[in-house]
Amino acid sequence: MATPVKDPLTGAETTGHVWDETLQEFNNPLPRWWLWTFYGTIIFAIVYWIMYPSWPIGKSYLKGVGNEITYKTDAGEEKTTHWNMRALLAHDMQNGESALKQKEYLEKVGAATYEQIAADADMSAFVRSYGVGMFGDNCAACHQSGGQGVVGMYPNLVDDDWLWGGDTQTIETTIRNGRLGYMPAFSKTFDETQLTQVASYVLSLSGEEADAAAVAEGQKIFQGETGGCYMCHTSEGKGMYAQGAANLTDKIWTVANLPAAETTQAKLDAVKAVIHNGVKRQMPVFGKDGRNLSDTEIKVLTAYLQQMSSETAQ
Amino acid sequence: MMKTEAVIEPKSTLQPRSVEGRFRNAKTAILVFAYAVFFLLPWLRWERAVGPDQAVLFDIPGRRYYIFDLVMHAQDIFWLTALLFLAAVLLFFVTTLFGRVFCGYFCFQTLWTDAFRFFEKFIQGDRVARLRLDKQPWNAEKILKKGLTHLSWLALALWTGISFALYWGDAFELTTAFFTGTAPSAMYGTAIILMSTTYLTAGWAKEHVCLHMCPYSRFQSVMFDQDTVIVSYDAKRGEGSTGRVKPIKDMRDQQARQSAGHGDCVDCGLCVQVCPTGVDIRKGLQIGCIHCALCIDACDGIMDKQGWERGLIRYTSEHGLEGKKTKVLKLRTVGYGLATLLATIYLVWSIGNSKLLEVTAVQIRSPLFVQLSDGRIQNSFEVKVNNKSMEAGRYQLVIDNFPGAELELGQFSDIQLKPDSSIRILAKIRYTVPPDDTQKNREFQFRLTPLEGKVKESVIIPSHFITP
Ligand code: SF4
Ligand code: SF4
């Protein structure tokens, strides 16, 4: 550029542009510190561009240098990758402060007995908060988020009634190995009258209304060789943990949906349907051969259920 | 003709002269006190039953804020809101009464710039010496003096940054860790950011912060009125009818000056030279004046030397200058004063009445109720007991107003809590619904009764029992 144009009045340098005869544009340079800040941002951008994922190249992209993140995959292998939010999240989930605290608690729970967990308020509280997540991931699909189950399909886990037993050892076994619940269908064994009689007896066991004559006949079938029901449900009708046979004398119905039945007839029909069709239910294996939950995870779930269920006496 | 420089940027590198006097002493005293508090507080130890032995500690990961015997929990954070509100109205109140005194005496920018200028003066000498040094070409002396000044500034700035970080952890541990390179990165970040901002604002920007960057300086003018007591130059006394004049020849004597129509200002310019923001107070109130009153000290010194009455520049209101009475009780002052008072009372009351024993009971909603095999209905609650006192406590949880219901707490019928700790327990309530009762929602209360510990009164928590 030629010699700078000066404004005659102020002596300031102008851009040389003149409008309307006298209107001029001053050439005021940026303050030095501002200029340097501007250069600084450029340098920052370049450093950032080198260190972090930036330009797309074809189907790939520049991944940046010196920004490795190491984390464990779900399969348990160590993986080192360039910086990205997913890896960072995985890394934080495994190494973050709360993750480490959680790990520490898990180890503590893993080493404790069920009695120790139940007697320790902190461990109990931890089991409740960690257990609710595990339950949600593994159990809630069938037993519902609060463990209330679905009548006829999946047992309620938070009442005080158990098909296979509610002590911690049994719960653990149930989770680890799964269960196969089976009651034969009596469609071929009983005619309609017999079906009504047995069903009436079953209803009477838990104090429901039923026709007295039918109850008396039903009792004979139940306790005798015709029905043979007593073999699993016991002659008192209290059920048997070893078979997963339901207690018929309490207020809880796991298969026949009595709570939803309004009339006596509907209740009778509900029970009849169960006897007619039989029951076939399966709980999957969550131990090594199934969903592969670890011992500690099974322990947390068991302790969680022990707390949430209403069984008082173990 | 205007100079290019004057058009492009405002005059920078102010070199105020130091001054002696009562306001300077007050300013110095406040500076020393504020520095003592800020720099020494993290080092003060304090004995506690549990928790750190540091008097003031903001423990973010532990969610506890320790201020001497006051332990604040995360849920007490609304006190901070109250405190900020109080600070705001107090500032408004003081500003309405006394103008920008906060700026002149308590503002961080003022305090740190002042401290930096003490170093500058100690190393380079006072105004005249500094101006000479500035003009001097770069030689060994200039390099040494300037270098030392900046070194001292950087050291103070660094120590400022470190001291701030010390409030968030154990002061002794953090300091050792900082210098051995093992401190958390947040500490290095904090220290470096605060060091650079301190160095730049107090060392380089100085009065430009007050003049161009500070938002408070922009809106304080709406809080002024003619009764606000501000630093003012008594123009009537200073200028007389024919203006100020230097005490030359026969203008030394007050009487001679007055008969010639001249005022008491001897035009020595000291008031301008001592001003940290470069204001000429004789031109009236200006936005740059931070009410530090150093010009009063300077002028008082001159008046003393002349043997004349002090107060040519003084703290007074516009009404005062006009010879009228300064009205203090006005809607504005009373309003701000009342707000300040209320905020103070609320904060003190709230802290004084904070519950040392907090209990909550949250109903488990999935499922809301469970039928048991004997026909009873059960509801579950997660009860959280928080013992905020510094003593261990033992409590008993029962239910009130719920005849026939049974409370089951597993193994925790007796709740034991360490000092400053909390517990979560599962409470189950079982109840046989009478056959003719169709009510779905029963109100009852949990009652936590302290058996041992600092808190003696029971805590009642209203709750609901839901049946199908
Ligand atoms: S004019 Fe006086 S009171 Fe105002 S900033 Fe300057 S020295 Fe301080
Ligand atoms: S210090 Fe006082 S006498 Fe000196 S110029 Fe300022 S107002 Fe006038």
Is B408 an 8 Å CB contact of chain A?
A: yes
Contact state of A125 with B423 under an 8 Å Cβ cutoff: yes
Residue B364 near chain A (CB below 8 Å)? yes
pLDDT by residue (tens digit) across A278-309? 999 999 999 998 889 999 999 999 999 999 98
Q: How many residues does chain B have?
A: 468
* Position B385 pLDDT exceeds 60: yes
Interchain contact A9–B (C-beta under 8 A) = yes
Q: Which residues of A touch B387 (CB under 8 A)?
A: none
Residue showing tokens 């160095």: B199
pLDDT at A73: 83
Give me the count of residues in chain A: 314
> One-letter amino acid identity for A139?
C
Q: What is the pLDDT of residue B9?
A: 44
- B411/A146 Cβ within 8 A: no
**Residue in B closest to A13 by C-alpha:** B4
Of A12, A121, A312, the CB nearest to B425: A121
Select from B151, B157, B152 the least CA-distant residue to B199: B157
Paired with B444 in beta bridges are: B463
- Position B66: which residue type? Y
- Residue of A310, A311, A312, A314 best to disrupt the B interface, most CBs of B under 10 A: A310
Query: Which residues form ligand 1's pocket by a CB distance below 6 Å?
Result: B 231, 274-277, 279, 281, 289-295
User: Which residues 32-51 on chain B approach chain A with CB closer than 8 angstroms?
Assistant: none
Residue written as token pair 């144009």: A5
* Residue B206 pLDDT exceeds 60: yes
The answer, yes or no, to whether residue B428 has pLDDT greater than 60, is yes
- In this predicted model, what pLDDT tens digit does every residue of B30-42 receive, in sequence order? 999 999 999 999 9
Residue from A290, A270, A314, A303 nearest A179 by CA: A290
Segment A14-31 shows an average pLDDT of 82
**Sheet architecture: strand order including B56-59:** B56-59, B64-67, B70-73
Beta carbons of A97 and B3 less than 8 Å apart: no
Q: Which among B212, B366, B368, B382 is the top mutation candidate for probing chain A, defined by the most A β-carbons within 10 Å of its own β-carbon?
A: B366
Give me A126's structure tokens.
């931890």
Does residue B50 register a pLDDT over 60?
A: yes
Q: What is the pLDDT of residue B432?
A: 92
Half-sphere exposure of B107 (CA within 13 A, CB side): 23
pLDDT of residue B4: 43
Rounded mean pLDDT, B249-277: 88
B375 touches chain A (CB under 8 A): yes
Helix extents (H) in A139-211: 140-143, 168-177, 192-205
User: Which B-chain residues 52-71 have CB contacts (< 8 A) with chain A?
Assistant: 61
* Residue A120 CB coordination number (10 Å): 17
Collapsing DSSP to helix, strand or coil, A194 comes out as helix
What is the DSSP secondary-structure string of B92-106?
A: HHHHHHHSTHIIIII
Mutual angle of helices B108-124 and B22-40, in 10-degree steps: 110
Distance CA B178, CA B182 (A): 6
Q: Which two tokens stand for residue A159?
A: 């009442």
Query: Is the previous residue joined to B367 through a cis bond, with omega within 30 degrees of 0?
Result: yes
Say if residue B3's pLDDT is above 50: no
Tell me the C-alpha to C-alpha distance, in Å, between residue B457 and each of B33, B76, B450. Answer: 42, 21, 7
Residue whose CA is at the smallest distance from ligand 1 atom 2:
B295
Provide the mean pLDDT of chain A: 89
pLDDT tens profile B402-427: 999 999 988 887 899 999 899 999 99
The pTM (predicted TM-score) of the whole model is 0.76
CA of B259 to the centre of ligand 2 (A): 20
Give the tokens for residue A127: 């089991």
Q: How confident is the model at residue B13 (pLDDT cuts 50, 70, 90)?
A: low
Strand partners, A18: A24
Q: Alpha-carbon Rg of chain A, whole angstroms?
A: 37
d(CA B431, CA B414): 22
Task: Please give the residue of chain B at the shortest CA–CA distance from A249.
Answer: B373
Residue ranges in B265-386 assigned as alpha helix (H): 270-274, 294-306, 318-321, 331-352
Interval B101-115 mean pLDDT: 94
Q: Please count the residue pairs, one from chain A and one from chain B, whose beta carbons lie less than 8 angstroms apart.
A: 85
pLDDT above 70: percentage of residues in chain A: 97
* pLDDT per residue as tens digits for the range A86-120: 889 988 888 888 888 899 999 999 999 999 999 99
All residues of chain B having their beta carbon less than 8 Å from the beta carbon of residue A310 are: 370, 372, 378, 428, 430
